Structure 1
Amino acid sequence: MLGVSHATSGAVLGLAVAGYAPLAFGIEPSAGSVLTFAAVCAGAALLPDLDHPSSTATKHFTAASFLASQVVRPLSGLVYRLTRARRDTGKGTHRGLTHTVLGAVLLGLGVNLASAAWGAPVLLGTLFVCLALAIKGLDAIVPGPPSLVAAAALTFAVEAYVPGGTAGTAGWLGTAVALGMVVHSVGDAITESGAPLLWPVPIRQRRWYPVGSPRPLRFRTGGKVEAWLVAPGLTVAAFVLAALVVPGVAPVLLDLRDRVEQLIAGAAMMAP
């Protein structure tokens, strides 16, 4: 899928998990926790494509992402060669290690441990990087200032002005990274090529089996189905979920609705 669809799918999943999962344990999430988790999930949904030299994450972000790609691609190729089964084909440098559930879980676990040990520097750094990636992924529909500047401003705003800030995500923010990477791979799996989500589980004598939806349901990346159905649907879902799960948003929207109704009623009374 395109960067826009990856970013919005990550935002939708992040909002749903951060908004509803804590309630199952009797915990009321703060606005800062929900927004931080959702933003990181949205940005992490572009991370797997660091294994592609022309992806948004690699080519249109920073020099650091380009260098990261130079590490990720050969590492993914090496793991592929070491673990490939008899019927596996290809090089494993794209849609390889970063497109697997295990790879996502390992990176997420690392971020969880780091955020629990070092707190704010890891939380703010992760939020900044993922916000910048998400903004860059949305640039096709929401063009604006450079992603790094916008990400820095939003990171500061979340920490300084949003109730709860990032502190409530310490020790579990890596879960957002893992979920974002997995939802990216699931998105790729429903396109024409599939993704090796279940590596290294052997399937049909292949460890890098490209898991996918039934062929009649697959669509082409950037095609009409994605442009006119998938991307708009995900965007609407993200706004609806934000209104439902981010504390403080619903009252503001209800107040805005009441004010609009009052203005309409006043205009109607003044009309001849």
Structure 2
Amino acid sequence: MPRPCPSARLAGSAARRTYGHPVLGVSHATSGAALGLAVAGLAPQVVGTSPTAGTILTFAGVTAGAALLPDLDHPSSTASRRFSWASWLAAHAVRPLSALVFRLTRGPRDSGRGTHRGLTHTVAGALLLAAAVGVTSARWGTPVTAGVLFVCLALAIKGLDGLVPGPPSLVIAAGLTWVAEEKLPGGTAGTAGWLGLAVGLGMLVHSLGDAVTESGAPLFWPLPIRGRHWYPIGSPRPLRFRAGGRVEALLVAPLLTLGTLALAVYVVPGALDVLLDLRARLVTGG
């Protein structure tokens, strides 16, 4: 068997380092959480309803974790490694499926294999998974909501390891899922009908984030653009940056983190009171 050329080995090594980079997880998880907080916390107020803390935080937790799901098509990503054999099976189902769809729908100028930044990085792919989750949660209710929340929280927490490393994310996710269901005002019930939307938004915000990096993302598949059905949509080239690079580490990730925290304090009922009480306890030593 011929040995891979040095450039191919270096490219593979670089890809593994990039998709294992902690900054990527922080950016994806916080962008998903911020979008989830904005949608669940602000949108209902437009029609005159006041969402509960449980609804807002459940929705945001799902969008935060779902924002890591598109990278199931990369073997070194958080989503592909978080749940041991389950992640392995999911990744080894997604990659061949994405490659098959790519081969069946490629345009005359499309290149590559479609195994990464393929189907899971498209609007259509996000809508399909959102519809599946929405139908399933509507049919079976709380068990599906709790299961999806647990998986997404585990992914989001693991994605934040570079920011707040700590105990195993599965343990934390299980605890937070129980808290959301049993202790938060409103619980998770208010999210059941919107669970698919949370998953879809998380996947979309991931792909939009990838679109401002050097490679872009095929958001509008299967629409033909310049002879390509998998055309990588992106921001103007001077504004793009390398995934996991210094711009993301020093600017994008910190801003997303601060924005998410500020948004949580603003939209989650009682969050400001909790922070003020915590501050008072720290000051008084009580």
TM range (shorter): over 0.9
Shift in CA distance, 207/153, structure 1 to aligned 2, threshold 3 Å: same
RMSD (Å) for aligned C-alpha atoms: 1.5
Tell me which of 167, 177, 183 is aligned to 1:145: 167
Bigger CA drift: 242-251 or 207-216? 242-251
Distance 1:119 1:60, change over 3 A: closer
The corresponding residue for 2:71 is 49
| Superposed displacement of residue 48, structure 1 | 0.3
Shift of 1:60: 3.8
Mapped contact 1:110–1:174 kept (Cα < 8 A): yes
Q: Structure 1 unaligned runs (5+)?
A: 264-272
Q: Is the 8 A contact 2:33 2:64 kept in 1?
A: yes
TM superposition score normalised by structure 1: 0.93
Kindly indicate whether the alpha-carbon contact (under 8 Å) linking 1:61 and 1:136 is maintained by their aligned counterparts in 2.
Answer: no
Within the candidate set 231, 243, 260, 1:209 is matched to 231
Deviations 1:29-72 (A, max 9, x none): 01000000000000000000000111111124322011100000
What does 1:73-152 align with in structure 2 at a 5 Å threshold? Answer: 73-152=95-174
Structure 2: runs of 5 or more not aligned: 1-22
Contact (CA 8 Å) 2:60, 2:198: kept in 1 or not? Answer: yes
- Paired positions, count: 262
CA deviations on 1:158-181 (whole Å, 9 max, x unpaired) are 111001111001121111100000
User: What's 1:21 paired with?
Assistant: 43
- Alpha-carbon offset, residue 6 of structure 1: 0.4
Say yes or no: does 1:34 pair with 2:56.
yes
Following superposition of structure 1 onto structure 2, how do residues 53-68 of structure 1 map, counting pairs within 5 Å? 53-68=75-90
Answering whether residue 256 of structure 2 is matched by residue 218 of structure 1, we say no
- Map Cα deviations across residues 165-209 of structure 1 (whole Å, 9 max, x no partner): 110011211111000000000111100000001111111111100
Aligned partner of 1:239: which letter? L
Q: For each residue in 1:230-272, what CA deviation from the matched residue of structure 2 results, as whole angstroms up to 9, or x when unmatched?
A: 0000000010000000111123334556x48986xxxxxxxxx
Check the 8 A contact 2:121/2:217 in 1, yes or no: yes
Question: Which residue identity does 1:206 align to in structure 2?
Answer: R
Taking a change above 3 Å as real, the CA distance of residues 260 and 60 of structure 1, as seen in their structure-2 partners, is: closer
1:104-152 Cα distance to aligned partner (Å, 9 max, x none):
0110111111111110011000000000000110111111111111110
Aligned with 1:89: secondary structure? coil
Amino acid at match of 1:166: T
1:251 to 273, 277, 284: 273
Percent of residue pairs bearing the same amino acid type:
69
Aligned equivalents of 1:157, 1:62: Cα separation in 2: 25
Partner of 1:189: 211
Amino acid of the structure 2 residue aligned with 1:37: F
Indicate conservation of the 8 Å contact 2:82/2:155, yes or no.
no
